[in-house]
């Protein structure tokens, strides 16, 4: 996924060919139903410069097994990104689909609007048991943006129910990605994603993130936490509903918190009556070696948002997990959280999530990540001998390499060089050699790796065997030339 805005619409090839409207799709695709032609004619890919596929093949992935996926030519790729931080237990787990099929035989769908069904009740209870502290109340949704959107609305509704209806603002961090629906986009700190859709939801405020690689040495390590308090004080605490933070921030390249960061943020939130939301759309379900990412850093959020690895993405599902304190005002008399989505808590998605948790428990996935993250990190640290590698950072199975022009001065690439480096060379070269990972320049250019949580030394060695020559070549081609 590129974070850039997609290109402007490319001309419709069938109009250029002058096809009559009724025949367009068949003419474009060919009667053979060739997937390439059909994709180019009909599929609207997300965050994709579709013009790039005018003279290139669309990569069509048709099969997966363990840490690997295969395209329609039968070529194998190491999925170093877990299909966008999603497929935590790996590909090809038939039992997750079988759980959905079993559920379909009993009850394919029923709603959670005023009703409940056994899968949503059982899953909610199971998540509450796994979640830290008193995060005991689970509101199901269908994905990450819905989770963030819902959490912000919940924070506003909570304050209103507690007699503070003016608390509506949300504080988040530069470069953080929290989703694309209008509320979630307001929390997202990436100007190229926001600007085309302004005006956004009122009340978004952004502060510095924790990328200490770019800080001067004398900087107070808790500077980024203090910036949150400054923002709250500037806005007026009585207007601020929530602070939303990922345990490890994805945008900008796996930005880890400083020691004591979350503890300080907790104190600040408590001092000003602001709710703390831990956005764990990526960082939960073992990605950092724990059920929930906040556990790794001793963070005590009031609300957790999650999705992706919750079902290992075998079904689209997300959740907002609220503490007892946050849920309390909505549990009595005529009180109501006036919000919902038809598919929230879909029984088949719940069945998949339960089967996913079964796999994680049976195979000790969290323990596996904690036992092997050191090898993963060591492999990446070993690349520091390459002049283009500026920083290696992350936690668990969620790491990034920041690329630089000059390691000593940390000089980064300008927009043109970055485009040439990432899209002009690295993405293609890595994919060509069979490694799917993310090259990203939402901040300074990074390569992100987030393999399935079953990966071990064999996959780490394979990643190194591809990354090392490709990064060396990138240096020769783009920097040294």
Ligand X SMILES: Cc1ncc(COP(=O)(O)O)c(C=O)c1O
Binding region for ligand X (CB under 6 A):
143-145, 148, 177-179, 246, 250, 279, 281-282, 307
For the bound state, the minimum distance from the C-beta of residue 336 to ligand X, rounded and expressed in Å, comes to 25
Q: How far is the CB of 177 from ligand X (least distance, A)?
A: 5
Residue whose CB is nearest to ligand X in the complex, by number: 144
Of 124 and 282, nearer to ligand X (C-beta) is: 282
Considering the complex, what minimum distance in angstroms separates the CB of residue 281 from ligand X?
Answer: 3
Is the peptide bond preceding residue 104 cis, with omega within 30 degrees of 0? no
Q: Residue 455: phi, psi to the nearest 5? A: -65, 150
For residues 246 and 402, which CB has a smaller minimum distance to ligand X in the complex? 246
Closer CB to ligand X, residue 315 or residue 478?
A: 315
Cα 224 from Cα 329, distance rounded (Å)? 32
Nearer to ligand X, 45 or 335 (CB): 45
**Minimum gap (Å) between residue 470 Cβ and ligand X:** 25
CB of 201 to ligand X, least distance (A): 15
445 and 422 in contact (C-beta within 8 Å)? yes
Q: How far is the CB of 250 from ligand X (least distance, A)?
A: 5
Smaller CB separation from ligand X, 189 or 203: 189
Task: Give whichever of 143 and 204 is closer to ligand X, judged by the CB atom.
Answer: 143
Q: Which is nearer to ligand X, 177 or 413 (CB)?
A: 177
What is the nearest approach in angstroms of ligand X to the Cβ of residue 242?
14
Helix/strand/coil (H/E/C) assignment for every residue in the chain: CCCCCCCCCCCCHHHHCCCCHHHHHHHHHCCCCCHHHHHHHHCCCCCCCHHHHCCCCCCCEEEEEECEEEECCCCEEEECCHHHHCCCCCECCHHHHHHHHHHHHHCCCCCCCCCCCHHHHHHHHHHHHHCCCCEEEEEEECCHHHHHHHHHHHHHHHHHHCCCCCCCEEEEECCCCCCCCHHHHHHCCCHHHHHHHCCCCCCEEEECCCCHHHCCCCCCCCHHHHHHHHHHHHHCHHHEEEEEECCCECCCCCECCCCCHHHHHHHHHHHHCCEEEEEECCCCCCCCCCCCHHHHCCCCCCEEEECHHHCCCCCCCEEEEEEHHHHHHHCCCCCCCCCCCCCCCCHHHHHHHHHHHHHHHHCCHHHHHHHHHHHHHHHHHHHHHCCCEEEEEEECCEEEEEECCECCCCECCCHHHHHHHHHHHHHHHHHHCCEECEEECCCCCEEEECCCCCCCHHHHHHHHHHHHHHHHHHHHHHHHC
- Nearer to ligand X among residue 177 and residue 261 (C-beta): 177
Cβ proximity to ligand X, 246 vs 391, nearer residue: 246
Nearer to ligand X, 82 or 412 (CB): 82
Q: Report the nearest approach of ligand X to the CB of residue 59 (Å).
A: 19
Q: Tell me how far, at minimum, the Cβ of 175 lies from ligand X, in Å.
A: 12
| Selection from 274, 208, 271, 266 nearest residue 240 by Cα | 274
Q: Residue 85 CB, nearest distance to ligand X (Å)? A: 6
């Amino acid at each position: 996924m590129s974070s850039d805005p997609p290109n402007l619409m490319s001309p419709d090839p069938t109009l250029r060919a002058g096809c009559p409207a009724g025949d367009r799709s068949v003419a474009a695709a060919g009667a053979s139903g060739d997937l390439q032609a059909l994709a180019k004619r009909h599929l609207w890919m997300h965050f994709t410069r579709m013009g790039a596929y005018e003279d290139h093949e669309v990569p069509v992935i048709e099969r997966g097994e363990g840490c690997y996926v295969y395209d329609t030519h039968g070529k194998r790729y190491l999925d170093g990104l877990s299909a966008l931080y999603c497929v935590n237990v790996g590909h090809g787990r038939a039992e997750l689909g079988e759980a959905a099929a079993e559920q379909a035989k009993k009850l394919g769908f029923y709603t959670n609007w005023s009703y409940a069904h056994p899968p949503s009740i059982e899953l909610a209870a199971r998540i509450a048991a796994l979640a830290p502290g008193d995060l005991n109340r689970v509101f199901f949704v269908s994905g990450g943006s819905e989770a963030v959107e819902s959490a912000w609305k919940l924070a506003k509704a909570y304050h209103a129910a507690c007699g503070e209806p003016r608390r509506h603002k949300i504080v988040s961090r530069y470069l953080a990605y929290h989703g694309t629906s209008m509320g979630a986009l307001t929390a997202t700190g990436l100007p190229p994603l926001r600007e085309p859709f302004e005006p956004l939801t009122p009340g978004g405020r952004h502060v510095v993130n924790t990328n200490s690689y770019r800080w001067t040495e004398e900087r107070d390590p808790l500077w980024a936490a203090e910036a949150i308090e400054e923002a709250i004080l500037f806005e007026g605490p009585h207007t601020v509903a929530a602070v939303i933070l990922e345990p490890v921030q994805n945008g900008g390249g796996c930005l880890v918190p400083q020691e004591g960061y979350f503890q300080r943020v907790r104190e600040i939130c408590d001092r000003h009556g602001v709710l703390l939301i831990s956005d764990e759309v990526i960082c939960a379900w073992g990605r950092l070696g724990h059920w929930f990412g906040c556990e790794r850093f001793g963070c005590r959020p009031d609300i957790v948002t999650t999705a992706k690895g919750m079902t290992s993405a075998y079904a689209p599902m997300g959740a907002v997990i609220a503490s007892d304190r946050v849920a309390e005002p909505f549990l009595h008399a005529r009180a109501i959280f006036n919000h919902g989505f038809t598919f929230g808590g879909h029984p088949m998605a719940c069945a998949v999530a339960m089967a996913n948790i079964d796999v994680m428990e049976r195979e000790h996935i969290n323990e596996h990540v904690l036992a092997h993250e050191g090898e993963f990190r060591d492999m990446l640290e070993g690349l520091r001998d390459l002049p283009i590698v500026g920083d290696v950072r992350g936690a668990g199975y969620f790491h990034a390499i920041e690329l630089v022009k000059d390691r000593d001065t940390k000089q980064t690439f300008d927009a043109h060089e970055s485009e040439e480096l990432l899209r002009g060379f690295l993405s293609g070269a890595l994919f060509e050699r069979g490694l799917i990972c993310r090259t990203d320049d939402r901040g300074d250019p990074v390569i992100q790796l987030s393999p399935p949580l079953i990966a071990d030394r064999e996959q780490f060695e394979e990643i190194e065997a591809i990354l090392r020559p490709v990064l060396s070549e990138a240096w020769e081609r783009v920097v040294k030339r």
